[in-house]
Amino acid sequence: DTFGAYISPELIDQMYEEKQEPKLGGNTGYHTAFFSDIQSFSAFSEVMEPEAMVKLMNEYLTEMTNILLDHQGTLDKYIGDSIVAFYGAPVTVEEHELLACKTALAMEKKIVELREKWSHEDDKPDLVHHLRHRIGLNSGPMVTGNMGSEMRMNYTMMGDTVNVAARLESSAKLYGVYIQVAENTYKKVKDEFEWRTLDYVRVKGKKVPVHVYELLSEKGQLDDDTAKMLTIFHEGLELYNAQKWNDALKKFEESATLEDEFPTRPTTPSKVYIFRCNHFIENLPEKDWDGVWIMTTK
């Protein structure tokens, strides 16, 4: 019963069959952390009555949590509209990186279905018809266990891996992307999905930079325009890393015309790199420039 609210019935059955006692109190293991957050959620409260907001959130969180549990994830907590979760504890889960990525893509697909459904419901404002959420994923060592006070405890996760995943979810908006994945996760599953190499960043509060990627689709599922855009973008990125700013700028200007643009997408990775190229044309980096972009916001 302890874990009934956190994990799927299948995982509970597995624990029972394997006579696997849940490990409580802090245990270190290599897991995958998951964070999601609705884009511009604060704007929803400005156009919806509280009761309608609660109904919408309950529907959204139910659908997303079902997908999470179906992919053997462990629900950590809800923070308003945000979902915090992880894979690999209290039950060992093989290929947790793969399952986390599949979760993210399945959620994207479900949100498309929900937007279509909501567009036919008269009580939903236009903002709801365009709802998007962002996801951050990172794999690595973390502590999981029951933490809290003597009065109330929560089965949760802690550690640097967790903090980076949270930063990736929040910083995804700076690129206009919706699933941002750190290199530890990417390396394990890079051949299973379609990716955009996004950046080499030092997230706020961290010393060690990390390569980050945009998860786009299952392998072989890209449409022709996106595949073409991706090729041109990656050519631009190679020129950018070689400090050939003008040549890189031309590539990013070309890829920008092929990006999927819509009113609620504030920017695109191509536009981000157009800005950077123009910046470096006017302000050459130091001679020891290593390509790292320093995030100044959470």
Verify that 196 and 264 share a domain, yes or no.
Answer: no
Nearest alpha carbon to residue 74 among 111, 110, 100, 105: 100
Number of domains in the chain: 2
CB 89 within 8 A of CB 162: no
Eight-state DSSP code of residue 41: G
Verify that 111 and 254 share a domain, yes or no.
Answer: no
Instruction: Give the number of other CB atoms < 10 A from CB of residue 118.
Output: 19
The most distant pair of C-alpha atoms in the chain lies apart, rounded to whole Å, by 64
Domain-ending residue, one of 219, 245, 276: 219
- Whether 197 is in a domain gets the answer yes
Give the C-alpha separation, 86 to 230, whole Å: 30
- How many residues are present in the chain? 298
Verify that 196 and 228 share a domain, yes or no.
Answer: no
3-class secondary-structure state, position 212: strand
Instruction: Give the number of other CB atoms < 10 A from CB of residue 22.
Output: 17
Q: β-strand 82-87 against 74-79: which pairing, if any?
A: antiparallel
Verify that 198 and 273 share a domain, yes or no.
Answer: no
Given the structure tokens 């070309």, which residue do they identify? 254
Q: β-strand 179-182 against 210-218: which pairing, if any?
A: antiparallel
- Whether 298 is in a domain gets the answer no
Backbone φ and ψ for 75, nearest 5 degrees, come out as -75, 120
- Whether 12 is in a domain gets the answer no
Verify that 34 and 175 share a domain, yes or no.
Answer: yes
Instruction: List the helix and strand counts (H, then E) for the chain.
Output: 10, 9
- Provide block-wise average pLDDT over 10 residues at a time, the chain (298 residues): 63 67 73 97 90 94 97 94 94 94 99 96 90 98 86 86 96 97 98 98 88 98 96 98 98 97 91 98 94 85
Eight-state DSSP code of residue 61: H
Token code pair at residue 59? 């529907």
Owning domain of residue 281: 223-292
CATH number reported for the structural domain that contains residue 147 in this entry: 3.30.70.1230
Give the C-alpha separation, 146 to 232, whole Å: 48
Verify that 198 and 276 share a domain, yes or no.
Answer: no
Give the C-alpha separation, 242 to 220, whole Å: 29
Verify that 72 and 158 share a domain, yes or no.
Answer: yes
Q: Which residues contact 233 (CB under 8 A, 6 or more apart)?
A: 196, 251, 252, 255, 269, 270, 273
Q: β-strand 82-87 against 27-38: which pairing, if any?
A: antiparallel
| pLDDT for res 122 | 85
- Whether 7 is in a domain gets the answer no
| pLDDT for res 3 | 62
- Whether 11 is in a domain gets the answer no
Backbone φ and ψ for 109, nearest 5 degrees, come out as -65, -45
| pLDDT for res 248 | 99
Domain-ending residue, one of 204, 219, 234: 219
Beta bridge partners of 193: 218
Give the C-alpha separation, 110 to 252, whole Å: 31
| pLDDT for res 234 | 99
Domain-ending residue, one of 219, 248, 283: 219
| pLDDT for res 206 | 81
Verify that 170 and 94 share a domain, yes or no.
Answer: yes
| pLDDT for res 8 | 65
- 227, amino acid identity: A
Eight-state DSSP code of residue 257: T
CB 31 within 8 A of CB 165: no
| pLDDT for res 227 | 96
- Whether 118 is in a domain gets the answer yes
Verify that 87 and 185 share a domain, yes or no.
Answer: yes
| pLDDT for res 25 | 65
- Whether 6 is in a domain gets the answer no
Verify that 118 and 239 share a domain, yes or no.
Answer: no
